[in-house]
Amino acid sequence: MTFADADAPGRNRDDAFWMPFTAMRQYRRKPMNFVSADAMHYETDDGRRILDGMAGLWCVNAGHGQPRITQSIRDMAGQLDFVSSFRMSHPGAAAMAQALTALAPVGLDHAFFVSSGSEAVDSALKIARAYHQARGEGRRVKLIGRAKGYHGMGWGGLSVSGIGRHKRDFGPLLGEVAHLPLPYDATMAFSDGQPRHGADYAQALEQIVAVNDAGTIAAVIVEPVTGSGGVYPPPHGYLDALRAICDRHGILLIFDEVITGFGRLGASFAAQAYGVLPDLLTCAKGMTNGAVPMGAVLARDTVFDAFMAGPPDAIELLHGYTYSAHPLACAAGLATIAVHDEFGLNARAARLEPLWRQTARGLRDAPHVADIRTAGILAGIDLTPRSGASGARGNDCAQACFEAGMLIRNAGDTLLLSPPLVLDKADIERLFKTIHDILNRLD
Ligand SMILES: Cc1ncc(COP(=O)(O)O)c(C=O)c1O
């Protein structure tokens, strides 16, 4: 094709951009186009300021257009556009790995870089299997996910996902998979943060072990707080119990922290907030403040060392991506970590969390509200579905929020909120008051 062909009939179509996770024909009737962003706000192409209640897509934790991050990306683009990480490197890669592992819980001391949460999850699942293979336990191939878990759109992540409709059109997926139940039930509705009971849900792992034979199971992967599946914080003691059962049976525990990482729960990672150390941890999104695609798998020594025991000249892990440790991503990541430190974003999130939780709970008396869950600066609000039209009320509420100048998401009839951590009291009040006002008039 030449550039002249761009003007040929049939080119310049408004459906040239095949959009992800979007009802495109509906979208084109009501487009939502953003042209700039700053701190807590987006600006639309028709000049409206929109309060960002989602940190973009759970990623812009330090606020939009953060000057230090933007400048670092600019500088690196002018200095070093690309270096492969296959048999070569650049100073930013080692610096980012060191800065990231310094943030992580003690014990997670190795970082494998990728370019997204999906790649991080698929990499972690492959590392888990290869770890057992390296130790002579190659029968351990089964992967255990959990109901409502979201682990991205790679084949591995989709296979362990606990959201059935995401898998519907793409089978067959990995066969060697089982799922834990969501550790949540109606008795926990309106829990103030973590449900007090429910640790027993972890015993479901013992049942899976019993019917599968522990020696065939490679890993369990969970989001410490189920994120896009609806924001479900773990019951007190649940993650500890999972950890203990994994230890008992030689199963690796993977925390998918693509949403919970980078300050969202008032600590760098949920592993620290809940005091439970996984064997592998995946992160992405907030690690570059969303400004350049990047993800990582963090690994414990016990895992890493198993790979380093083979022949000294062999490639230890036959896995990687063209853009692993991309210089621009490393520059953005280093600046993001510096900004988190400079502005004390973990402490800020921890300080705001009680106000966030209480203000969210203020929706309890609003029409249609069936449950409210919060964890750190995350909220999930279940609305009762309209009869025969599951998801319609959630869609209408999210759309009405946008028309009122605020971006939130919905998963069916569950409203989801995850604003940048630079928000203040007035932002918190506006987010929940807007939803309250909309619910008062929504049928
Ligand atoms: C917990 C979790 N894991 C993995 C992913 C996939 O990340 P990405 O969309 O960057 O591939 C997401 C995305 O929302 C996520 O929330």
* Among protein residues, the one whose CA lies closest to atom 13 of ligand 1: 152
Report the pLDDT averaged over residues 317-341: 98
Determine the pLDDT at residue 30: 87
Report the pLDDT averaged over residues 35-47: 98
Of 57, 155, 258, 259, the residue with max ligand 1 atoms within 8 A of its CB, to mutate for a pocket test, comes to: 258
What the block records as the tokens of 98 is 């060191």
Query: What 8-state DSSP symbol labels residue 227?
Result: -
Q: Does 1 reside within a domain?
A: no
Output the CA angle 358-367-359, nearest 5 degrees: 10
Backbone angles phi, psi at 185, to 5 degrees: -150, 180
The residue with tokens 């812009």 is 60
Residues in contact with ligand 1 (CB, 6 Å cut-off): 58, 116-118, 121, 150-152, 223, 227-228, 256, 258-259, 284
Q: How far is the C-alpha of 396 from the C-alpha of 401, rounded, in Å?
A: 9
Determine the pLDDT at residue 7: 65
Residues 6+ apart with CB under 8 A from 272: 105
57 CA distance to ligand 1 centroid (A)? 9
3-class DSSP assignment, residue 135: coil
Report the pLDDT averaged over residues 298-319: 96
Of 21, 113, 114, 118, the residue with max ligand 1 atoms within 8 A of its CB, to mutate for a pocket test, comes to: 118
The residue with tokens 């200095």 is 79
Length of the chain: 443
pLDDT surpasses 60 at 1: no
* Co-location of 221 and 282 in the same domain: yes
Q: Does 286 reside within a domain?
A: yes
Q: Does 3 reside within a domain?
A: no
Q: Which of 343, 370, 390 is the last residue of a domain?
A: 343
Preceding peptide of 420 cis, ω within 30° = no
* Co-location of 270 and 366 in the same domain: no
* Among protein residues, the one whose CA lies closest to atom 7 of ligand 1: 117
Determine the pLDDT at residue 14: 82
pLDDT surpasses 90 at 100: yes
Query: What 8-state DSSP symbol labels residue 386?
Result: B
Q: Which of 343, 371, 406 is the last residue of a domain?
A: 343
Output the CA angle 208-209-211, nearest 5 degrees: 65
Determine the pLDDT at residue 13: 82
Average pLDDT, the chain: 96
Domain count, the chain: 2
Q: How far is the C-alpha of 277 from the C-alpha of 284, rounded, in Å?
A: 18
310 CA distance to ligand 1 centroid (A)? 32
8 CA distance to ligand 1 centroid (A)? 38
* Co-location of 202 and 215 in the same domain: yes
pLDDT surpasses 90 at 48: yes
DSSP for 80-109 reads ------SS---HHHHHHHHHHHHHSPTTEE
How confident is the model over 416-443, as pLDDT tens digits?
999 999 999 999 999 999 999 999 999 9
415 CA distance to ligand 1 centroid (A)? 18
What the block records as the tokens of 66 is 């953060």
Q: Does 274 reside within a domain?
A: yes
pLDDT surpasses 90 at 208: yes
User: In whole angstroms, what separates CA 21 from the centre of its chain?
Assistant: 16
Q: What CATH number is given to the structural domain containing 108?
A: 3.40.640.10
Q: How far is the C-alpha of 227 from the C-alpha of 415, rounded, in Å?
A: 12
Q: Does 15 reside within a domain?
A: no
C-beta separation of 87 from 307 below 8 A: no
What the block records as the tokens of 410 is 């919905």
* Among protein residues, the one whose CA lies closest to atom 12 of ligand 1: 152
- Domain limits for position 106: 68-343
Strand ranges, E, within 270-405: 280-283, 295-300, 369-375, 378-383
Determine the pLDDT at residue 5: 66
Q: Does 360 reside within a domain?
A: yes
pTM: 0.97
* Co-location of 236 and 330 in the same domain: yes
* Co-location of 312 and 415 in the same domain: no
21 CA distance to ligand 1 centroid (A)? 13
* Co-location of 107 and 173 in the same domain: yes
Going by C-alpha positions, the residue among 105, 294, 112, 306 that lies closest to residue 218 is 306
328 CA distance to ligand 1 centroid (A)? 20
Q: Which of 343, 375, 399 is the last residue of a domain?
A: 343
152 CA distance to ligand 1 centroid (A)? 4
Determine the pLDDT at residue 144: 98
pLDDT surpasses 90 at 240: yes
* Among protein residues, the one whose CA lies closest to atom 8 of ligand 1: 117
Q: How far is the C-alpha of 297 from the C-alpha of 424, rounded, in Å?
A: 32
